[in-house]
Structure 1
Amino acid sequence: MQEDEFYGLVQQAGHLESTDRTQAATEAVLETLGETMTGGEAGDVAEQLPTELASVIEDADHDGAGYDREEFVERVGEHLRGADLESDDAEQYADAVTDALAVALTGGELENLKSQLDSGLHPLFEGVTIDQEDV
């Protein structure tokens, strides 16, 4: 998947008006997600993403924080500060980006990723609103 395709999926799923907002939301969610993973898993996920997006996950502090859903959304909101986005919409952005990830990653890699996350984050990757046929 190409970078513009990934951003297009996020923009559509997140109902974002501009590419700049889509990029800011995507980076905030991917950075937060990267923080929840070990470096090895982050590298595995990054291998299946476009280069620019891969670097966001790879460059995050991989502390395996184990955020629950509320903490994850709060952290995304913190990463959004300074962007032209409302931190109150962090959950909407998290849903959109994880939907795009669910489509971009292979089934096995998606399961490996979910196994490193708090079970409260698993629903972010379920009920994906993006049709695989559209990719």
Structure 2
Amino acid sequence: MQENEFYKLVQEASHLETIDRAQVAAEAVFETLGEALTGGEAEDVAAQLPPELASIVEDADHDGTGYDREEFVERVSDHLQGTDVEDADAEQFADGVTDAIAATLTQGELQDLKAQLDGDLHPLFEGVAVDPSDA
């Protein structure tokens, strides 16, 4: 999948007006996700993403912290500070971006990703509302 196709999925799933806003939202979620993973799992996830997005996950400070959903959304909101994307909508963006991630990753990698996350975050990657063939 190409970077612009991924952003179209995020735009659709997050109900954002522009691709630019989808990019900002995606970067905030990828950075937060990267922080929540160990370095090895971040590399595995990154291997299935467009290179531009992969670098965000790989370059995050991987501490493997087990964020629950509230903490995850709060960190996404923090990463949105100073952008033109409303940080108050961080939960909507987290849900939209994780839908796009779930549509992009193989099932095996998606299961490995979820295994490293707090169970409270698993619903973000389930019931995916976007179809990668629509991008």
Q: Verify same fold: TM over 0.5.
A: yes
Distance between the aligned counterparts of 2:94 and 2:103, measured in 1?
A: 14
Root-mean-square deviation over aligned CA pairs: 0.9
CA contact (8 A) 2:102 2:128 kept: yes
Once the two structures are aligned, what percentage of the paired residues are identical? 70
User: Separation in 1 of the partners of 2:132 and 2:83?
Assistant: 30
Greater displacement, 18-27 / 113-122: 18-27
Alpha-carbon distance between aligned partners in 2 of 1:5 and 1:29, rounded to the nearest angstrom? 17
Q: Residue 75 of structure 1 aligns with which residue?
A: 75
Match in the other structure for 2:88:
88
Offset, 1:132 = 4.8
Tell me how far 1:133 sits from its aligned partner: 4.6
Amino acid at match of 2:65: A
Specify the SS of the correspondent of 1:95. Answer: helix
Residues 1-80 of structure 1: matches in 2 within 5 Å?
1-80=1-80
Give 2:122's aligned residue.
122
Aligned residue type for 1:26: A
1:33, 1:133 → 2: CA distance? 24
Unaligned stretches of 5+ residues in structure 1:
none
SS at match of 2:82: coil
124-133 or 3-12: bigger deviation: 124-133
Structure 1 residue ranges, 4+ long, deviating more than 2 angstroms after superposition: 131-135
Of 15-24 and 113-122, deviating more is: 15-24
The amino acid of 1:105's aligned partner reads L
Q: How many aligned residue pairs are there?
A: 135
Change (3 A) 1:8 1:133: closer
Task: Give the alignment's TM-score, normalised by structure 2.
Answer: 0.97
Tell me how far apart the structure 1 counterparts of residues 86 and 133 of structure 2 sit (CA, whole Å): 31
Structure 2, gaps ≥5 residues long: none
Q: Which amino acid in 2 is paired with 1:41?
A: E
Q: 1: distance between equivalents of 2:54 and 2:88?
A: 26
Amino acid at match of 1:23: Q
What is the one-letter code of the residue matched to 2:79?
H
Q: TM-score if structure 1 supplies the norm length?
A: 0.97
Q: For 2:66 and 2:91, locate their aligned partners in 1 and report how far apart those are by CA, in whole Å.
A: 17
CA distance in 2, matches of 1:133, 1:17: 20
Q: 1-side partners of 2:133 and 2:11: how far apart?
A: 17
Amino acid at match of 2:105: L
